[in-house]
Amino acid sequence: MTIYPHPAAETVTAGLSLRAALAGLPVIGRDEPIAREAVAADFAERYSGVPAVGLARPEPAVLYTGVLPDAAGPADATDPPAGPVPPVPSGRPVPPVLLGLYGDEDRVRGWLPGLPRHTTPRSAAALVAAGLPPVRTDTAPCQQVVAGEVDLRELPVLTATPRDAGPYLTAALVHAGDAATGGSALSAHRMLVIGRDRLTVWMVPGRRLGQLHQEAVARGERLPVTVNIGVPPAAMIASAINSRFLPTGSDKLTVAGGLAGAPVGLVPALTQPGATALAESEIVLEGFLDGTLADEALPGSPPDGSLPEFLGYDGRARSGLPVLTVTGVTTRRDPLYQAVIGPGREQSHILGAAGALSVALSLPSAPALHVHDLHFSPAGGGMLLLAVAVRKESAEGDRALAALAEEVVRRHPFVKTVLFTDDDVRIRSAEELLWALTTRANLGADCVELPGHPPVPMDPSQTAEWAGERGGPPEAPARTFVDATTPYRLRTRTERSFRSAQS
């Protein structure tokens, strides 16, 4: 590993600036020329971890500085109907591509002093209570350079595999505020570049951005937005928290302020009145969502694959997605372009840290159980496998696990398996979880089905076809929880021979 030279960080904390987070990190610099279609595969082969590849390893921050300009890009309605798209005319240098920044959990925690050491209902509530609302400024680093024209082909938007629908933005946060309702949204979405100034946006049903978009369209209005690339780490983690579980008066950017220990900065957009951008972003796309829809495919191609999903399998394209029209582009001087490859430690840590906070905020009171920690394993992409360390206050705690598991999977539909352990188990260690599973559970009796929950289609084992091959009924598969805890009355029989302070 080498310390790679990077633009100097401003005097802001690491939680509030990607550049400050990079400062002092052992960043691997890849200077050799490389096509943007090859960057993701190179990172996956050399550096990525589970579930992208079958290696359990943290991911380093890698900066690709030799990404070649794109000689041809996606066509749109203004292009000629046939023939290649002309090469990018500006001649501006291609921004370096940053991958792997969030690929180490301890690294992320070091940037965010407000992120609880143990994620519990109490610590999550304390984080929200300590939240700091964002502050507005008239000038910001993200507007140091204003593009003279919009041409998304000038950005090194990656194509991860030959089966992808095309180039996708993967680590960009869409920020929207609705002046009519006072609502706001901050969330990451996969966005396919389908033209010089157009993107399709896949919004998981129920997301706040989708609600704001539908409300604006129903009023016959456009929803002004910014797309922020290279955002503060606190904003990235907060963006993945489920806003349904935030109390009235709080929002994701306020939680981001609590994570960083200082408020996030916002700056008004230059081409979209009412929209604001994250001031410390590397690159900002300003634009709007209206009633325009398009298939998740390049012009002239049918919807097919999308890009690698968070569990490590190819995704499937969608039809009739909202189109985001870009009206302006601003950047820092010498900007960095940040991306994720889809599956891998980086995506798992972002989703897992925010997911644990979401679960903690949603848990009901359970007097017989004390939740000691919550952790989403990277093996489930940071979403499907939830480990819960508990301390039982009485024998009633043995029977309280089922109700707690049912409440978790009901409120968090991506959770497939809940694994309960005692509070002497380090649930952030895969070996510790396997030890508890091996010595404190008999799966024939201690693995319990929770039926009646819809499948997660990105998980192949939850499909009707999979169930049919297993000889089972084709209805939606059940969720499960595993009791790898010691029965309350036998707890003295499983005390560990060697005891140490738990992390």
The Cα–Cα gap between 362 and 125 comes to: 10
Query: pLDDT of 225-280, one tens digit each?
Result: 999 999 999 999 999 999 999 999 899 999 999 999 999 999 999 999 999 999 99
Section 154-171 average pLDDT: 96
Say what the pLDDT of residue 82 is.
33
CA R_g for the chain: 23
Q: So what's the pLDDT on residue 182? A: 75
The pLDDT of residue 502: 56
CATH number for position 473: 3.40.1670.10
Q: Which of 315, 346, 377 is the last residue of a domain?
A: 346
Spell out the residues 6+ positions from residue 372 whose beta carbon is closer than 8 angstroms to its own: 118, 120, 389, 390, 391, 423
| Rounded CA separation 214/162 (Å) | 33
Domain match, 74 and 146 both: yes
Q: Can you give the pLDDT at residue 317?
A: 94
Low-confidence winner among 8-12, 177-181, 193-197, 496-500 (lowest mean pLDDT): 8-12
Give the residues across from 45 on adjacent strands.
Answer: none
- Look up the CATH number of the domain holding residue 78: 2.30.110.10
Q: Give the span between the Cα atoms of 295 and 173, in whole angstroms.
A: 21
Q: How far apart are CA 183 and CA 166, in angstroms?
A: 32
Mean pLDDT throughout 343-372?
94
Instruction: Inform me whether the pLDDT recorded for 195 exceeds 70.
Output: yes
Q: Are residues 34 and 151 in the same domain?
A: yes
pLDDT, one tens digit per residue, over 20-39 is: 999 979 999 999 999 999 99
Are both 315 and 423 inside the same structural domain? no
Instruction: Average the pLDDT over 201-223 and give the result.
Output: 94
Which tokens is 311 given?
A: 């569990």
Rounded to an integer, what distance in angstroms lies between the CA atom of residue 227 and that of residue 240?
15
- The answer to whether position 293 is within a domain reads yes
**Which pLDDT score is estimated for 282?**
98
Asked if the structure places residue 1 within a domain, the reply is no
Same domain, 188 and 292: yes
Helix (H, G, I), strand (E, B) or coil at 107: helix
What residues have CB less than 8 Å from 44, skipping those under 6 apart? Answer: 52, 53, 341, 344
426 is a domain residue: yes
Interior CA angle at 303 toward 344 and 319, to 5°? 95
Residue range(s) defining the domain that contains residue 473: 363-494
Contact 360, 126 (CB under 8 A): no
Q: Are residues 342 and 368 in the same domain?
A: no
pLDDT one-digit tens code per residue, 458-482: 999 998 889 888 887 877 678 999 9
The angle that helices 252-260 and 121-129 make with each other, rounded to 10 degrees, is: 100
Give the H/E segment covering residue 74. none
Report if residue 151 sits inside a domain: yes
Going by C-alpha positions, the residue among 263, 281, 260, 265 that lies closest to residue 111 is: 260
Q: Is residue 2 included in any domain, yes or no?
A: no
**CA triple 52-296-351, angle to 5 deg:** 35
Give pLDDT, residue 472: 78
Residues 378, 238 within the same domain: no
Do 194 and 113 lie in one domain? The reply is: yes
In a domain, 5, yes or no: no
**pLDDT reported for residue 214:** 95
**Which of 89, 96, 31 lies closest to 282, judged by CA?**
96
Residue whose tokens read 């109490």: 122
Structure tokens of 229? Answer: 């690339």
The reply to whether 3 falls in a domain is: no
Q: In the predicted model, what is the mean pLDDT of residues 433-457? A: 95
Same-domain pairing of 207 and 241? yes
pTM of the predicted model as reported, rounded to 2 decimal places: 0.93
Domain end marker among 346, 378, 403 = 346
Contacts of 501 (CB under 8 A, 6+ apart): none
Do 292 and 318 lie in a common domain?
yes
Query: Could you tell me which residue, 229 or 78, shows the higher pLDDT?
Result: 229
CA distances for 476 relative to 416, 417, 451, angstroms:
12, 15, 8
Same domain membership, residue 442 and residue 409:
yes
Per-residue pLDDT band for 302 (boundaries 50, 70, 90) equals: confident
Overall domain count for the chain: 2
Domain C-terminal end among 312, 346, 380: 346
| Higher per-residue pLDDT: 84 or 251 | 251
Contacts of 471 (CB under 8 A, 6+ apart): none
Residues of the chain with pLDDT > 70, as a percent, come to 93
Return mean pLDDT, the chain.
91
Range with the lowest mean pLDDT among 53-57, 78-82, 180-184, 435-439?
78-82
Any residues with CB less than 8 A from the CB of 457 and at least 6 apart, and which?
A: 316, 463
Q: Do 246 and 322 fall into the same domain? A: yes
Judge whether 7 lies within some domain.
no
Q: Same domain for 341 and 273? A: yes
